[in-house]
Amino acid sequence: VATYLAEQWKTSLLVVAIAQGTSMNSSVLDYPRAYIELHEIHAEFILTEGLIGVLNKIIEEKAINLLLMGGYSISIVEEVLNSGSVNIMLREMQCPIFICR
């Protein structure tokens, strides 16, 4: 969806992968990088560790005006009871969020 929107709006992308408590191999960005490059979209890729606050800092530093994220990876009931990432993002982020399921 992000690639399509970038093509239509003639804009670039910032792809962020955040590891929370576990180490993440940089290969996690290989597929999105190849897909975005196939569509000839300019994109920056960031692989970092931390919590949601890290994303807030990146959004502020890079002047991001729209955040696109995946939807619920667990049941909605579990997400609500355990304050999952989607609910945290909706509470904490100051920019618009486009949630893809």
Segment 24-71, tens digit of pLDDT: 788 889 999 999 999 999 999 999 887 778 888 999 999 999 999 876
CA distances from 11 to 8, 28, 65, 80, 92 (A): 8, 23, 12, 34, 25
Burial class (CB in 10 A: 0-12, 13-18, 19+), 32: middle
Q: How far apart are CA 43 and CA 93, in angstroms?
A: 22
Tens of pLDDT, residues 64-93: 999 998 766 666 666 556 666 777 788 888
